[in-house]
Amino acid sequence: MTMIDDTAVAAGEGAAQPIFRLAGVTRTYTQKGRVVNALTGVDLEIAAGDFVAIQGPTGGGKSTLLQLLGALDRPSTGSILLDGTDIASASNVELGRLRAHELGFVFQGFNLIPTLTAHENVDMALEPLGLPAQERAARVGEALERVGLADRTDHRPGELSGGQQQRVAIARAIVKRPRVLLADEPTGNLDESMRDEILAVLEELNAEGLTLVVVTHDSAVAKRARRRLRLEKGVVRELTR
């Protein structure tokens, strides 16, 4: 059963329409008394339905860029259009709506609550949407089935393998039926076998129309993407295959 809205699938056909447009984006902040230029004049478009991998050295700006795409931060200068909404100038209420409805997040550390079951961890992502309890339960069950954990709904994180915990994290991200999934080193804590399992789940979701942006140090992960970007010293460069 597909987890992606029909509108997202339609937008992803041919990956022609940009869902992200970045123009002149910079991000500067002060750290321990010194100015850090995390991003310097980034111009970038990401098409709806694309699968983009971002690589680069530690401290090169990868996580900063992902936070900006995820409406978790604002650029110092420039514009970031997410399907027409400028993250740089949108209100906090609008940014909250984007995070709740349009964007899903997956992190290296899983970020699951250890005292909650898989079902309860996934269900937490639906709290801001105000859905009826019956629909929430149906969505959670569908999301866990989608990642192959229909038989683990009552298990807590400590009773699951690392790969299974990351599957729960993916289910939590997609249960909202977002248009974009942003993943920061999603396979960084997994062995090669589990890495490939998680990649297979992500690729299947992308094939159904979900826009996927992955930050990774793993070239084996990056090679599976349609586009590869390198971010170094705040500058984005497209890599040829």
Region 36-58 average pLDDT: 94
Does residue 61 surpass a pLDDT of 80?
yes
Region 235-241 average pLDDT: 84
Q: How confident is the model at residue 137 (pLDDT cuts 50, 70, 90)?
A: very high
The whole-angstrom separation of Cα 13 and Cα 86 is 24
Q: What's the confidence (pLDDT) of residue 241?
A: 60
Give the three-class secondary structure for 51: strand
pLDDT in tens, 63-119: 999 999 999 999 999 999 998 899 999 999 999 999 999 999 998 888 999 999 999
180 forms beta bridges with 103, 211
Q: How confident is the model at residue 1 (pLDDT cuts 50, 70, 90)?
A: very low
Top-confidence residue, 70 or 5: 70
Nearest to 212 by CA among 15, 1, 25: 15
Domains along the chain with CATH numbers: 49-62+92-239 (3.40.50.300)
Radius of gyration of the chain (CA): 17
The mean pLDDT value of the chain amounts to 90
Does residue 7 surpass a pLDDT of 50?
no
Helices 192-207, 162-174: crossing angle, 10 deg rounding: 20
Q: How confident is the model at residue 202 (pLDDT cuts 50, 70, 90)?
A: very high
Q: What's the confidence (pLDDT) of residue 239?
A: 87
Q: What's the confidence (pLDDT) of residue 116?
A: 97
| 8 Å CB contact between 174 and 148 | no
pLDDT in tens, 160-193: 999 999 999 999 999 999 999 999 999 888 889 8
